Amino acid sequence: MQILANLPVFLRKPMLLNRLKEFYAMSDNDKRETINMALSAAPTIDPNKLSALFRTWLEILSEFDTEKRAIMFQTYCKQILENTRLIEKLDFRSLTATFLSLDQKQQERLTDSLQEVLFSFPNRYEILKQVPEDSLKAVGLK
């Protein structure tokens, strides 16, 4: 993740696209491990570089179909429920600002997919209580 974060956008975007395509071909266990590693590594990356990487990830994810976005968000939700400490050190203010910097259509696609996953998720309140109110408002969950 650190390597991707250090790349210029013209290199980062195609590499991240390939990594996401690989992600969808993985077994469920490998998907969970990948998400675990990403959540563990995120707080160790320079905040500006993490914001750039997160933006690229969101842009690419917004172009995938609804089913693929749902798989990604479901996997993240499951991992967060297994270990809520994984998101304790995340800079939600910066991540939320990055999300809000996307164009309206990208925000809507991502928000719709996230809401759909959370509304069908049995323990959604366990996840939602880990997220600051401003971030929840940004994605229409407050």
> What percentage of residues in the chain have a pLDDT greater than 90?
83
What is the DSSP annotation of 68-100? HHHHHHHHHHHHHHH-GGGGTT--HHHHHHHHH
Q: What is the pLDDT of residues 48-102, one digit of tens each?
A: 999 999 999 999 999 999 999 999 999 999 999 998 888 988 999 999 999 999 9
Check residue 6 and give its pLDDT.
87
Of the candidates 112, 121, 13, 24, the residue with the CA atom closest to the CA atom of residue 72: 24
Percentages of the chain per state (helix, strand, coil), in multiples of 5: 80, 0, 20
DSSP state of 7: S
Residues 6+ apart with CB under 8 A from 58: 98, 99, 102, 106, 110
pTM recorded for the entire structure: 0.92
Backbone angles phi, psi at 10, to 5 degrees: -70, -20
Q: Which of 112, 97, 109, 105 has the alpha carbon at shortest distance from 47?
A: 97
